[in-house]
Structure 1
Amino acid sequence: MTQTSPRIDLGRTIRAMRRRADLSQRELAAKSGVPQATIARIESGRAADPRFRTLEALVAAVQGRIVLSVPTACDGVEVGGGIDAGPAGPGVVEEGGGQATCGLPAVPHDELRDAVGRRYPAHLDAWPVHEPKDWPGAWWADWYNLPPERWPLPLPEATYERDRGYRDRRRRAERVRREFSIRQVVEPGRSATSWRFVAELPDGELIGELRAHERTPHLAYGDDESVWPRDLVLDGVLVAGEHRRLGIGRGLLDALLRRMAEVRIGGVSGIAEGPGVNFLAACGFRIASRRPLAMCLDLPVRSGPGRPP
């Protein structure tokens, strides 16, 4: 006995492909020649059986392809073909929930609806709105801390950002947060008391670095080494500007603390200024008044004619 292969959810698949190609319905209509109204009907499920040529034009517009195969009996179940997403990812057809879905990442906000029950644009990033800071339209929220009953505008259930540059930066930040890894670097010729950790992307791009070194207080005070516990001085935590506020600096510091625990080093200190103070405080550092103060000397600089090179 054979079982017919479940049908692909075309609406969900086209929305996912359109999102991966970063195209609105209007832009996909212009590239494919398929009317926007037809695309809207397919995505909403109102066009239950669209023409093959229509699907072919839509898939070609996002540089994908449709894969057809003769069903083959496999353990009593027929296995068919599906849509190859091309640049959007593998086109494996997976069975689940009584329907077949293309192997594309689903639209993350596909279940959100606006006030009249419509889906938000698949190619954009939509999110729920709980307070004014969640809504880009609340330009007044940055200046006034008002109770809800005094908000000058009602908040929507959800919102999205139309600016493509913002959208691209947001998606890249999500990818970096998901994919970066941290490792300790052990280099030939480097002293064992010098520690270095790096944060990298899968392609090897360096996006963050932490350096520290072990102190030897017994050399300064002339006591036996066993009297003084081992500790570290934090030389610096650097994160590429476009990748800050993604948890990379915290991840580097956590890796340092784990390694310290492994080798039984119980303390680390550092000097910070500006935002670095807040960062270290958020990571559990405290102000150690017994430590030396950070000091600087500003030299007078002559200006005008005769200034030395």
Structure 2
Amino acid sequence: MWFPTIRTGSGSDVFTEQLVNGLNKQGVLAEISWLPHHAEYLPWLVHKPQKPDWANIVHINSWLHPKFLPDNIPIITNVHLCVQDKALLPYKSMAQKIYHQLWITPIERHNIKQANKVIAVSHYTAKQVISFFNINNVGVIYNGIDTEIFTPSQIPKAKRPFRILFAGNHSKRKGFDLLPEIMQQLGADFELYYTGNREDASYNLPKNMYALPRLNYPLEMAKAYQDADALLFPTRLEGFGLVVAEAMACGLPVVVANSSALPELVEHNLSGLLCKKDDVHSFVVNIKKLQSDKQLQLTLSRNSSARIQTQFNMNNMIENYIKIYKLLLNEKH
């Protein structure tokens, strides 16, 4: 299996590396040919990598420019987030709207049309792809979580204000703009640690919000989950919700928006708390509810880690992709 892949510094890189490592451990020969980030928008400046002679399937991200595709070989195209989703429009800049419409959409249309199999990372994403590109052959394979790294901590937490974690960029899509008001209403008994740059002048941050230093993935990220009391993730739209799944694997109770793919991960009051999207009051009420109810914290912690271990583990993902590979090779012959 050959993966010509643009390195973007995002969750799609993590997905590709974990899939390839998992395939190799299962005895399936797989290799990544990394392309620089500018191959996404300046493909004519990047040399086309040579397909290995042994490769009999090519596996790509839907954003890969067709220039980098080999001929006469089965193609699997992964869609991690459908940027054509109308629900995403309010959170795009004008530049993003133009870029997605005039550059990314034609590339994705070509790659989806050429693919022998299209795989989305959630049923929500699959539904958007089917609707926009007017196709039916979209399968769903959830991203897998490495539960040997993302695992509950056995170390008791020190007495302190209730510690909340936000992991993600500071975009409006991720709901970072809601965090200052949520934390202002929660007050001094709560503190929020977030990934990213404290010097973000776009927001007036209250004193109970603290920037974390740059975290090395995955070990330092796993420790950040383990050190927290809850994950707060008021995102407007996720193709899957990797941060939420990793936090759940660590037994961290999650308080997230009831939007896009997240209800596929989180069962309300069983493995997390779902809040009305964009509703600051809903997030505040649910976080206070969680903070005041130790039994609820324990229940959500146990259920969330068990849910990831049984339904969203790495082995499930690897085995499901191997089934697709075998199916395509059988069809080829």
TM-score tier (shorter): under 0.3
Q: Say which structure is richer in helix.
A: 2
TM-score of the two chains, using structure 2 as the length reference: 0.24
Bigger relative contact order (CA 8 A; separation at least 6): 2
Question: Bigger radius of gyration, 1 or 2?
Answer: 1
